[in-house]
Amino acid sequence: MAAEAHADAGAMTLPVILLARGRYAARLAAAPGDVAAAQALRGRAFLGEGAGPDADGFDAICDHVLVEDLRSGRLVCCFRFLRLDSGREIGRSYAAQFYDLSRLEAFEGPMVEMGRFCVDPEVHDPDVLRVAWGAMAAYVDGQGVEMLFGCASFAGTEARAYSDAFAMLKARHLAPARWLPRVKAEDVYPFARLLRRKPDPRSALMRMPPLLRTYLLMGGWVSDHAVVDRDMNTLHVFTGVEIARIPEARKRLLRAVAG
């Protein structure tokens, strides 16, 4: 149920509802208090209870999506979108701080960076992720986006814990040469160069972050290296999804959820 609700001119703007399914609804933030709530949830999810809000300068230029429990009003998931007219603007993105994305400047179509995706650590209902991805699909379709990208994170900074996952990324999911990000960050794990092992598929999937698994199911690709982010205690890879290349069966599934 994708819909928009706006008040009359001069009145308060009401939230844009991207999707409502069962007990959960996803909407765009409509007031500073909404963004503050998202920052508080991000702080708990990324940094732990009592760590305070997670906030940065990108919050002011992004659209924020909130997934809420309709029964309790509780915020259970959030993420943000940064819209770019084309690859010529990719230097404005969060990911551009960590990766040399100059090759992607040649991408002609509209792009969206999806970032700061998190779920309340106390919530384990798979329907939350379904609603979140349905809202993502509704937003991408509504904006005419041709590439979705972002940084997909592994918890912790110990690369050896994810050897099979990284080996799987090298074997099956590296970016095409024309888009492949180059190294920019000082601290990286160049898994495509270092790993020589064949991945154990079961172990690889078990260690792959859920967000990254979903990107890959949509035909997504990744950088050939991971950035070691010690401030956030993560390893992350640049991930891109060209909308035109998403398998048709996966497109139908996402649009069925979003519709």
C-alpha separations of 26 from 22, 33, 121, 207 in Å: 11, 16, 18, 28
12 pLDDT above the threshold of 60: no
Summarised one tens digit per residue, pLDDT across range 70-123 is: 999 999 999 999 999 999 999 999 999 999 999 999 999 999 999 999 999 999
DSSP H or E stretch at residue 182: strand 182-183
Model confidence, pTM: 0.91
In terms of pLDDT, which residue wins out, 1 or 258? 258
Amino acid at 258: A
In this structure, how many other beta carbons lie within 10 angstroms of the beta carbon of residue 249?
Answer: 8
What lies within 8 Å, CB to CB, of 232 at 6+ separation is: 46, 47, 153
Which runs of consecutive H residues, i.e. helices, occur in 154-237? 163-172, 191-194, 201-207, 210-217
180 pLDDT above the threshold of 80: yes
**Is 8 part of a structural domain of the chain?**
no
140 pLDDT above the threshold of 60: yes
Dist CA 62 CA 52 (whole Å): 21
- Looking up residue 131, the CATH number of its domain turns out to be 3.40.630.30
**Is 5 part of a structural domain of the chain?**
no
- Domain assignment of residue 75, given as a range: 17-258
**Is 167 part of a structural domain of the chain?**
yes
What the block records as the tokens of 211 is: 């967000």
161 pLDDT above the threshold of 80: yes
Number of domains in the chain: 1
**Is 11 part of a structural domain of the chain?**
no
35 pLDDT above the threshold of 80: yes
**Is 7 part of a structural domain of the chain?**
no
